[in-house]
């Protein structure tokens, strides 16, 4: 079974069961292209098991083992991120590993460029935590012409049709209007359909110490996650975010590691 087939099997809710097979392919020297593809899916599952150090070791192994001209040169995620997160979450220095791997790649390699950029940021001390664009706890921004759907915010949410509600949620996110989002969730039980928006609300609840509500939003976010490539298995943005991470309880981990996701959830 190749890497794409194994990733598909994992997305059927068999992440823990399929992980050893993905690791076997990723650590095999038989087919370097299959190795890095399997590593992508394996790294994402390892994140949900707090296996950040192992994920970085796997990333380093497959990049080192890739022959000249390998398509791994066109990748950035998750290999660069895995090495960075091993420092942030596991205390393993990233800069030497990033530069060493970059030196092994062709000058025109996109992966080399990403590795060196991350190494420079590390040396400058310009990254200390994952990039958080959610702005948890930020003041509500004014509604202006740049906010798509801003005109809907003057409407009664309960009277809107599903398409309008989706735009309404997006406008709340763009303006960081968590108080209004919180009110809708508490009074109507409704939440965004979008993965990022549910994650934003989960982080806002986690910041306030309302972990149970954060859990619920992360579970609702799961239904909208869609893999970016055929080798993806699980999202990683949540588990590395220090705020959202407070709401990733045992219940959330079990849910993400046992429930079908993406196209396999719709099969």
Q: What is the pLDDT of residues 217-267, one digit of tens each?
A: 999 999 999 999 999 999 998 999 989 999 999 999 999 999 999 999 987
For residues 46 and 19, is the Cβ–Cβ distance under 8 A? yes
% of the chain surpassing 90 pLDDT: 88
Beta-carbon-side half-sphere exposure of residue 176 (alpha carbons within 13 Å): 12
In 3D, which of 169, 148, 263 has the Cα closest to residue 217?
Answer: 169
pLDDT for 130 beyond 90: no
Q: pTM for this structure? A: 0.94
Quote the mean pLDDT of the chain: 94
Dihedral (C-alpha) 189, 190, 195, 200: value to the nearest 10 degrees? Answer: -70
Mean pLDDT of the 8-22 span? 98
Structure tokens at 122: 């590390």
State the DSSP H helix or E strand holding residue 140, giving kind and residue range, or none if neither.
Answer: none
* Residue 22: per-residue pLDDT: 98
First-to-final CA distance of the chain: 20
* Residue 263: per-residue pLDDT: 94
pLDDT for 97 beyond 50: yes
């Amino acid at each position: 079974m190749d890497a794409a087939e194994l990733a598909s099997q994992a997305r059927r809710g068999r992440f823990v069961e399929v992980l050893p097979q993905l690791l076997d392919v990723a650590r095999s020297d038989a087919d370097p292209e299959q190795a890095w593809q399997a590593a992508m899916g394996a790294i994402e599952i390892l994140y949900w098991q707090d296996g950040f150090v192992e994920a970085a070791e796997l990333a380093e192994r497959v990049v080192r083992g890739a022959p000249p001209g390998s398509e791994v040169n066109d990748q950035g995620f998750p290999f660069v991120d895995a090495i960075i997160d091993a420092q942030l979450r596991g205390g393993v220095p990233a800069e030497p590993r990033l530069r060493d791997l970059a030196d092994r790649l062709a000058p025109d390699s996109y992966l080399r460029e990403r590795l060196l950029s991350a190494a420079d940021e590390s040396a400058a001390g310009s990254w200390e935590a994952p990039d958080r664009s959610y702005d948890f706890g930020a003041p509500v921004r004014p509604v202006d012409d740049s906010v798509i759907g801003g005109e809907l915010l003057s409407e009664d949410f309960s009277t809107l049709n599903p398409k309008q509600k989706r735009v309404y949620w997006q406008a709340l996110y763009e303006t960081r209007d968590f108080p209004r989002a919180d009110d809708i969730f508490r009074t109507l039980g409704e939440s965004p359909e979008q993965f990022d928006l549910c994650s934003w609300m989960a982080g806002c609840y986690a910041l306030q110490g309302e972990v149970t509500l954060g859990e619920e939003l992360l579970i609702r976010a799961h239904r909208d996650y869609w893999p970016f490539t055929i080798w993806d298995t699980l999202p990683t943005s949540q588990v590395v975010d220090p705020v959202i991470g407070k709401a990733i309880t045992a219940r959330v981990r079990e849910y993400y590691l046992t429930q079908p996701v993406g196209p396999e959830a719709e099969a």
